[in-house]
Amino acid sequence: MRKILQAYITDQAMPQVLNLLKHDHLTVKVKNERKTRHGDYMRLPNGKHQITINSNLNKHRFLITLVHEIAHFEAYKTYGKFIKPHGIEWKRTFQHLMLPFLNPDIFPSELLPLLAKHFKNPKASSDTDVILALALRQFDEPNDKTFIFEVPLGQTFKIYNGKIFKKGIQRTKRFECLEVKTGRMYLFNPNAEVEVISAKTGVS
């Protein structure tokens, strides 16, 4: 397991991670980027358990995602299969598992207060925590993507599948965005990553 994870986990976090993964029926696989999720957990038909994590995540986001998925496994073991995927049982398990990692030997000091606040009530995805997501983004490899909340009102943008939208008003937490081709309205999380399109040239 160490060989699989050593490219994605810091040396300081590795011993604790390996300790959490000491289960005969739990495996971790690193996958190519999936646009709709950072990772997932599933119980396989043969009774074993599998966690998959995207390979393109920076080391801090990779660790958070991995512990997130391990929490699903531990909550399943402790409480059974009828709990809500991101219900109180999972939240408590995630908090318990993540606490030992929240120290300056593992995370940069500027992330620690944001992580502490986030883990008072962890969400189904850290992406829904706009401030934390933006802080984590600074550790990503440079790219041409922009967060929705940074896009000006009325600006057109493109998402991963090539569809083009025009940004509208914010409704509570999410933004209304009009799909240019169909005229249908969609809601986007504030920190969804998109590619801005120039209004004059029609290119990104």
178 alpha carbon, distance to own chain's centre:
25
- Classified by CATH at the fold level, domain 146-196 comes out as SH3 type barrels. (2.30.30)
**Residue 153 DSSP label:** T
Domain ranges of the chain: 2-137, 146-196
pLDDT band for position 11 (cuts 50, 70, 90): very high
Distance between CA atoms of residues 48 and 131, nearest Å: 36
pLDDT band for position 6 (cuts 50, 70, 90): very high
Please enumerate in sequence order all residues whose Cβ is within 8 A of that of 199, keeping only pairs 6 or more positions apart, or say none. 155, 156
- Classified by CATH at the fold level, domain 2-137 comes out as Zincin-like (3.30.2010)
- pLDDT, residue 199, reads 58
Give the predicted TM-score (pTM) of the model: 0.85
